[in-house]
Amino acid sequence: MNNFKNKTVLITGASRGIGKATAQAFAEQGAKVAINFRSNRKAAEETLRALPGEEHALFQYDISNEDEQQQLVGEVIKHFGILDILVNNAGISIEHDIESISFEEWSSAFKDTFQTNLFAVANLSLLAAQHMMKHGGGRIVSVSSRGAFRGEPTKPAYGASKAALNAMSQSLAKKLAPHGIYVGVVAPGFTETDMASKTLTPVERENLLRESPFKRMAQPEEVAHAILFLASEKAAYSSGTIIDVNGASYLRS
């Protein structure tokens, strides 16, 4: 099923976890993948080597930096000639418990979280959309979180940034539809990536396993599947949709 044959897709934070699984899934369906990463070149190169096909490329840019946002999109378009799909996957999560934090730490957590999780997504979406408007349309898919709906008591900036991302994406879905640009969001629950597995304590793992009736966490490939659906041509009328991938751990009305 080569839905993405010869399509160019830029995935932010693509060197590991959900981003890596998404890069693999797109490449398996014939896409040319632009792998964005910030610092871990070794992991990015390993991801690149694992992809089927030979036209993929690495792009090292920090998307929290406005200058580098513009450089990233510009370099991807220069390299491939076109950008068909943008996947806003990169994000950060900072612990900032209101019961035990200074004003400066609290303020910094909000600024840093929103800079990456919302402002960077907004700016990259602008840059991609303006290019797509001139070249027959495209797809923008962003990775949110169940935390946007259920709340994040010890990471309120994270939950707030993802809720704002959802609202912005739905606004863009309305605005960009006449231009043939379709916008969607995937909201995973906790996903069992290599990094997460190394940092979880046994108690934290057990608590996470209890959250879903499946008694397990999401796998990166399951999230990638939802991303590919929203990026596909057959999902055009699903523009504006937010797909939950949380194993029924949080159900919203």
Provide the β-strand partners of residue 32. 8
Phi, psi (degrees; rounded to nearest 5) at 94: -120, 125
Which of the residues are catalytic? 158
Closest CA relative to residue 65, chosen from 36, 44, 86, 42? 36
Amino acid at 44: A
